[in-house]
Amino acid sequence: MKEVNVAIIGFGTVGSGTAQVMYEQAERIRKRSGININLRKVADIAVDSLPAHLSNVELTRDAGELFNDQEIDIIVELIGGTTLAKTFILQAMEHGKHVVTANKALLSEHGREIFAAAAANEVEIGFEASVGGGIPLIKSLKEGLVANKIMSIMGIMNGTANYILTRMTDHGVNFTEVLKDAQEKGFAEADPTYDIEGIDTAHKLVILMTMAYGMNIGLDDVAIEGISRIQPVDIDFAGDFGYRIKLLAISRNYGDHVEARVHPTMVPESHMLAGINGAYNGVHFTGDMVEDVLLYGLGAGKMPTGSAVVADIVDIARNINYGCLNRVPCLSYLPEHISPRQITPMAELRCPYYFRISTLDKPGVLSTISGILGRHGISLESVIQKGREQQGTVPIIMRTYEAREDAVQDALAEINALPTTTAETVMIRILADNEE
């Protein structure tokens, strides 16, 4: 039986999960692939020993040893970060090793260089685990949806943010309290910035857009807003209006230009994504032939992410076995068909909006605010004023009909500058009921 040998750099949560999946599923994988896929070496500077079931695996502190080992076919990078990980991946490729990684930050920020190195060295790179943990999103785009023009991508791609918003919605607790609780339970990182500020979601959107549309795109192309401004009062009003607040990645394909945005969104309760709660992820694609596809599952965690890493290892091992490397282009489109594309300017976005304006409770304030909105062509669907808070401040809640983003930004700048406005207005975009 054909033998394919693997080494892992980084034996943290995902690294140890990958080793465990390989161990537990070895027989099943042999039956499905006809290949013995062996974990030969693990490199990690902070680990002194491997678990008992990995007694035949060599542990080293020097990743360099793996690149020069003639027996190793596939190197799995699971250290994260964008500096050392990049060096290791490029070195592995220069030594003719195939690479598997879960590193979304690296791919979305330095993908072009890494994919070019893979092509130049005639090796494969697999990155299923970089988006949506255990959910086979990448393979679905590359293979299952190969006969489709992807018309839109919309998804909840960060479990930490979704967990926080779900807890805020279900228990009425504020953002800071839920975040602290999530950190104590180990659901949120000690530094949760990437998760709560939408950057991790944007990294994932960059990868999916590249594959869905065959386009060159970078993190700078994505308009990003996080969830830290959201308060229980916004969640309550969203509920009253029939929405749930979700951190969504959204991209619609208009042919000559495509949207790329990540922001909190009021999602109608009837929408498929509104029911995705807790640490779960869900990504909705529309294809011109298949129409709607929703993929749902655990976007993080040791075993789900390990499962995705191992799926890439098995794919590469099969290609080695059958002598058909790069049978499926790693970015779905052939490199010569990946081109730049225009990003739809955020200013041109049209959708309904929610505003929470904090203002002094004085005669004439509401008419001043609605006058500003009217001058910018923004039409109100409903207005709610709640009782006074401290020092005479009241929240005014407004829901608009569809409006243009640039008009909204200009109007809110004027409203925020009023002497009666006591805090920056919270604005949340609303997904229209009829939107895919």
Distant-in-sequence, close-in-space partners of 1: CB < 8 Å, separation ≥ 6: 30, 34, 35, 36
Q: Is 433 in a helix, a strand, or coil?
A: coil
Query: What is the DSSP secondary structure assignment for residue 253, as one 8-state letter?
Result: B
Rule CB under 6 A: say whether 158 interacts with ligand HSE: yes
List 204, 302, 362, 386, catalytic entry? 204
Rule CB under 6 A: say whether 128 interacts with ligand HSE: no
* Ranges within 169-228 binding ligand HSE (CB under 6 A): 195, 200
> Which DSSP string corresponds to 401-416?
SSEEHHHHHHHHHHHH
Instruction: Extract the tokens encoding 191.
Output: 């530094």
Phi and psi of 240, rounded to 5°?
Answer: -60, -35
Q: Which helix (H) or strand (E) holds 211?
A: helix 199-213
- Is 104 a residue of the active site? no
Residue 165 Cα to chain centre, angstroms: 16
Strands (E), 54-130: 58-60, 74-77, 98-101, 125-126
* Ranges within 61-80 binding ligand HSE (CB under 6 A): none
Least CB distance to ligand HSE at residue 219 (A): 15
Contact call for residues 376 and 410 (beta carbons, < 8 A)? yes
Rule CB under 6 A: say whether 106 interacts with ligand HSE: no
Question: Judged by CB under 6 A, how many residues of this single chain contact ligand HSE?
Answer: 7
152/160 with CB nearer ligand HSE: 160
Q: Which helix (H) or strand (E) holds 19?
A: helix 13-24
Which stretch, 18-26, 71-79, 152-160, 225-233, contacts ligand HSE (CB under 6 A)? 152-160
Least CB distance to ligand HSE at residue 172 (A): 22
* Ranges within 297-316 binding ligand HSE (CB under 6 A): 299-300
Least CB distance to ligand HSE at residue 207 (A): 11
296/354 with CB nearer ligand HSE: 296
Least CB distance to ligand HSE at residue 209 (A): 17
Least CB distance to ligand HSE at residue 247 (A): 10
Binding mask 245-284 for ligand HSE (x = CB under 6 A): ----------------------------------------
Residues shown for the chain: 436
Q: Is 320 in a helix, a strand, or coil?
A: helix
Member of 33, 103, 160, 344 binding ligand HSE (CB under 6 A) = 160
Instruction: Extract the tokens encoding 331.
Output: 């970015």
304/395 with CB nearer ligand HSE: 304
Angle at 174 between CA 171 and CA 175, to 5 degrees: 115
State the catalytic residues.
Answer: 204
Q: Which residues bind ligand HSE (CB under 6 A)?
A: 158-160, 195, 200, 299-300
